[in-house]
A = this chain, B = another copy of it.
Amino acid sequence: MKDDSFRGVYPALTTPFRPDLSLDVEGYARLTDAVIRDGVHGIVVNGCTGESWSLTAEERKTVFETAVKAAAGRVPVVAGASGQSAAEALAKIRQAADAGCEIAMVSPPWYVIPGPEEILEHYRKILAATPLPVLLYNIPRRTCVSFDVATVDRLADHPKVIGIKESSKDWGLLSSIIRRTRDRISVFAGYASFFGLAALCEGAVGYIDSGTPVFGAKSVAFHKAATTGDLETARALQADMERMLAAYFGLGTFPASIKAALDLLGRPGGPTRDPIRPLDDAQRASLRKVMMASGLIEQRAA
């Protein structure tokens, strides 16, 4: 069921670790505060950007609690809560609800390659028991399975489904989902640097994006321009975002480059956990150049 207030720019947060790779709780709170001060409309925690696969159950609890406390009611916290079984997803959703998160983001099971009916059944079990509204999450390049339009269409009728984050990189699929379900659920685009303007014009309500903690207020300005008809401003910002993300995705394994960019900005980035390696010095130097060229950091500061 659509909630008209669930819209806008939702950065997917990286999870800061200390040099010894333990969870950097203080850094997490600072990062959360920084993006909210940038003007974002909500945050997403414990997603793939957050290296969710590397967190223990205890750490996940801490992440949820830290984000909620740092958000301090200013914006909603969306909690990554996927599982290979409905039971695993529900356990994470309950953790999120207990911590005060407002929405649970749930992808289909990975590795298993279920069919459409099995995906539907997986969600029905979750929806029957979830204490939180659910944001569907389509990320086939990681789960090896994709929603089809018909399955999203059926799930969109369920009162506990509040929206979808669609990250297939397939405009045919994303735009069809927008056209078919936007009157019933909030559609968010992934990969905003390529799909942001198109999706917002087609009727998406916002985007969930790992680049926003780096772009900061620019990302919020982009969303505003795109949703208030100022297309020329939006086009220019979209081009800026593409240039930056092209640099990101070419450097290391996601989200190592995001963390390095945050380091360069003086925001809590920090190392990545296994199996992902942090950027090396040459990659950091290359990233610094891109960020200076984009005006994100000053010549001097670098």
Interface residue ranges of A176-223 to B (CB < 8 Å): 176, 179, 194-195, 197-199, 201-203
Given contacts A111-B48, A114-B253, A253-B114, contact A203 B171 (CB under 8 A): no
Is A115's CB under 8 angstroms from B253's CB?
yes
Among B144, B229, B277, which residue has its beta carbon within 8 angstroms of that of A118? B277
Number of copies: 4
* A252 part of interface (Cβ distance < 8 Å): yes
Given contacts A53-B84, A275-B119, A277-B118, contact A172 B194 (CB under 8 A): yes
Q: Which residues of chain B have C-beta atoms less than 8 A from A112's C-beta?
A: 53, 142, 253, 275-276
Chain A interface residue count, CB cutoff 8 Å, equals 52
Among B85, B235, B254, which residue has its beta carbon within 8 angstroms of that of A274? B85
Is A195's CB under 8 angstroms from B179's CB?
no
Is A276's CB under 8 angstroms from B201's CB?
no
Taken residue by residue from 80 to 116, chain A's Cβ proximity to chain B (1 for < 8 Å, 0 otherwise) reads as 0000111100000000000000000000011111110
Q: 17 other contacts beyond A143-B144, A169-B171, A198-B199, with CB at 8 A cut-off?
A: A86-B275, A110-B110, A110-B144, A112-B142, A112-B275, A113-B142, A113-B253, A113-B254, A117-B277, A121-B274, A121-B277, A122-B275, A171-B194, A179-B239, A198-B198, A198-B201, A203-B231
